[in-house]
A and B are shown apart, each in its own frame.
Chain A
Amino acid sequence: MIISVASGKGGTGKTTIASSLAAVLGPRAQILDCDVEEPNCHILLKPTIESREKITLPVPVVNMEACNLCGKCGEVCRFSAIILIGDQVLTFPELCHGCGGCTLLCPQKAIHEGARELGVLETGFAGPVEFVHGILRVGEAMSPPLIRAVKSKIKSSKIAILDAPPGASCPVINTVSGSDFIIMVTEPTPFGLHDLTIAEEAVSLLGIPVGVVLNRSDIGDTEVQAFCRTKNIPVLAEIPHDRRIAEGYARGDLLVNSAPEYKTLLLEMIDAIQDLVNHPRGTVRTATV
């Protein structure tokens, strides 16, 4: 089973929920941090990293001896990453999407592919939990290929927990596509609601069932609950604001360590999600401690 933890708005508690879910599931779980721009699961789970590989994107390299300056490569490229100027072919590897079009379509076969480093992929263990994360190279704009590399490590024998980036655009879609269930973590504020609405709209294109975890559930208003009722989205759990949890998080402690009473709640939430995946029309009782 693959469960993505997403949110729309940043800082609502995705990593808090994802990391503690993995921790309570122990050897049954695998955690994959797909927020490659700002991965944080390792701060809470403190894994031992066992392997590390560079992830690259193929970018064009032109052999000017074979080039006859026809300019086809520049006509083909829709990202302005290669262009014929005078008697030179200039490449802008940082704009390249790695589609391979120029290499494939060069009539002189004068282009081969080099590599641009996108970031690194690390795997290891946090206690009994299998740990995977990607770290985007600072200055690199393109995260989806690295996210796909992280996801290539998903093991079907485990409950894979995917920590998604915030927002609602391509990095989020790349993370959550293929999931069996999406947990949307939000907070009861106008920002939380607005960004939840957008994220829900984005993932609804994929037809994956969604449930909401309402974090700091007592700090704002009741609009998120109203939205969930209208949209028929189950509220899986409500976690009231608790200074203990916030201070624990600041130090890098897991939710289930700073507030152990949430262990049972999270395990029950996994059961509820499993039920919802198997019986999509089932009802869910909102868990709270």
Chain B
Amino acid sequence: MKEVVIISGKGGTGKTTLSGSFACLAKSKIMADCDVDAADLHILTDPKILHQEDFYGGGKAWIDKEKCSECGICRDSCRFGAISEQLEVNRLSCEGCGVCFHVCPEGAVNLEAGICGQWFISETRFGPLVHARLLPGEENSGKLVALVRNQAKVLARKQNKDTILVDGAPGVGCPVISSVTGADYVVIVTEPTLSGRHDMDRALQLVRGFRIPAFIVINKADIHSDLADTIEREAEERGVTVLGRIPYDPAVIRAMVQRRCVVEDRNGVANESIRRIWERLESLL
């Protein structure tokens, strides 16, 4: 069983478009949407939820006014500025570290493990999908990503699937680190813009730091063909395989608006390129 994670550094380069299309083309696979912050793979795959569970975060502080003597030690000890002058906890600032709980002389602080999201196992027309939803504004996205990946692995073993396709988050921070740690392969989707190249570089540094083999796909490649050439040359110099280029194609948006994957309609240049890219990737796994 091979786990392939699709990331990008920069947002909006086409991670989910590519993940959805790979899911459509791969024969024996489980999908996992690890962009738990703003998951979109379900939009293309129309999942029927088979199993649903709440995800609990590390807990937030809560002050029992009955017991509180208003000494303010909790406020003074909080490094996150989460306790106000009036000794109220701002849930969005609270890190759940529990320092206030330990320093309170009255035992007035409680830590409540709250629900900060849900995760799901669903069936789609392409096969099983493990996905999640972090409640807006919540933290612990890294933990939820790890949970989604684990569930996908369990399911893949149980159903004897060859591949886990993981749709990752943008950036290089907590959820991305959690998505790629221990993965077999990473595909970085970029675009030939200076920002795309800059962000891909950082994503590649991250992946190489983990010693995971990485591949590159250049999307909307004809927006700036010279820069696409540069990206390809730089990648080769670093020993990273460029799987292929996808030209800008309005069919991609048309498919998305119909909530379909671009390869399902079997026409257009993006469809053809993605099929070639998948064949190449499959041969390299």
Contacts and interface: CB of A to CB of B under 8 A. Distances in A.
A93 to B, nearest CB: 15
B13 A78 contact: no
A15 B11 CA distance: 11
A5 to B, nearest CB: 13
A11 interface: yes
- Interface residue SS majority, chain A: loop
A143 to B, nearest CB: 5
A37 B194 contact: no
A143 B170 CA distance: 13
A198 interface: yes
Nearest to A249: B193
A277 interface: no
B250 A169 contact: no
A246 B12 CA distance: 13
Interface in B256-272: 256-257, 259
Contacts of A195: 38, 40
Interface in A223-248: 246-247
A101 B102 contact: yes
Contact of B12 (A11, A79, A100, A190): A11
Contacts of B141: 169-170
Contacts of B79: 98-100
A74 B157 CA distance: 35
A205 B194 CA distance: 35
B177 interface: yes
A166 B193 CA distance: 18
Contacts of B105: none
A141 B177 contact: yes
A206 interface: yes
B58 A78 contact: yes
A9 B8 CA distance: 13
Contact of B173 (A37, A246, A251): A37
Nearest to A201: B136
B253 interface: yes
Interface string A191-229: 100110011011101100000000000011100000000
Interface string B182-212: 0000000001111110110010011001000
A88 B37 CA distance: 38
The residue among B79, B209, B224 with the most chain A CB atoms within 10 A of its own CB is B79
A192 to B, nearest CB: 9
Contacts of A172: 137
Contacts of B139: 169-170
B12 A9 contact: yes
A289 interface: no
Given A78-B58, A202-B136, A219-B250, A139 B177 contact: yes
A43 B173 CA distance: 20
Nearest to B16: A191
A205 B205 CA distance: 35
B147 interface: no
Contacts of A219: 250, 253
A250 B205 contact: no
A191 B256 contact: yes
Given A38-B10, A167-B171, A169-B141, 8 more contacts: A9-B40, A38-B202, A76-B102, A78-B59, A136-B173, A141-B174, A167-B38, A194-B38
Instruction: Rank and list the top 4 A-B pairs by shortest CB-CB distance, nearest first.
Output: A10-B11, A11-B12, A202-B136, A99-B97
27 contacts: A9-B12, A9-B38, A10-B10, A10-B170, A11-B12, A15-B195, A35-B171, A38-B170, A40-B10, A78-B98, A98-B79, A138-B209, A139-B206, A141-B142, A165-B171, A167-B38, A169-B138, A169-B141, A172-B137, A190-B256, A191-B256, A195-B40, A198-B37, A202-B136, A220-B257, A250-B196, A252-B193
